[in-house]
Amino acid sequence: GLLTSGVEFESLPAALSLPAESGLYPVTLVGVPRTAGNITVNGYHTSVFGVTSDCLLEGLPSVRTSGCMVEVIPSLPRLQLSTSLP
């Protein structure tokens, strides 16, 4: 899942199967911010065969930032309209 700081954030679990000798492999990590405000993605968390690891973006030599900040805006109200057309 994603490692974040700032607003309350629910990181959704992801599972994948890596092919042997696949090299770089794209993975999509998803989560839901629960409140408005600023959130910073600092890295990611993995668990493989029960061994957990946290990887911070600032520790990756190919990444030139220590995190990615996003402004979360308040949720919009839901609008529902019912009509009967003549």
Cβ proximity of 81 and 16 under 8 Å: no
Q: What is the pLDDT of residue 86?
A: 66
**Residue 76 dihedral angles phi and psi, to the nearest 5°:** -85, 150
Q: What is the pLDDT of residue 24?
A: 83
Strand partners, 32: 10
Q: What is the pLDDT of residue 6?
A: 94
Q: Where are the domains of the chain?
A: 2-17+27-72
**What secondary structure letter does DSSP report for 31?**
E
Give the chain's residues under pLDDT 70: 66, 86
